[in-house]
Amino acid sequence: MFKCPALLLLLFFVLFTSCSNEKKPVTVDTVDLAKIEKQATVSLDAKKIHTWLSSGRDSLTILYFYADWCKICQKFRPQLLNAITGSNTPLRTGIVNSDQQKAAISEFGITSLPTIKFYKNNRLLYTSVGFLQETELQKLIVKFAKM
Four-residue CA torsion sign, 72, 76, 77, 80: negative
Topology, domain 31-145: Glutaredoxin (3.40.30)
User: Over its length of 147 residues, how does the chain's per-residue pLDDT go in tens digits?
Assistant: 445 454 444 444 444 443 434 433 333 333 444 555 555 577 887 788 888 888 877 889 999 999 999 999 999 999 998 898 888 888 888 889 999 999 999 999 999 999 999 999 889 999 999 999 999 999 999 999 988
> 61 and 121 in contact (C-beta within 8 Å)?
no
pLDDT at 133: 93
pLDDT the model gives residue 37: 59
How far is it, in rounded angstroms, from Cα 96 to Cα 45? 7
pTM: 0.73
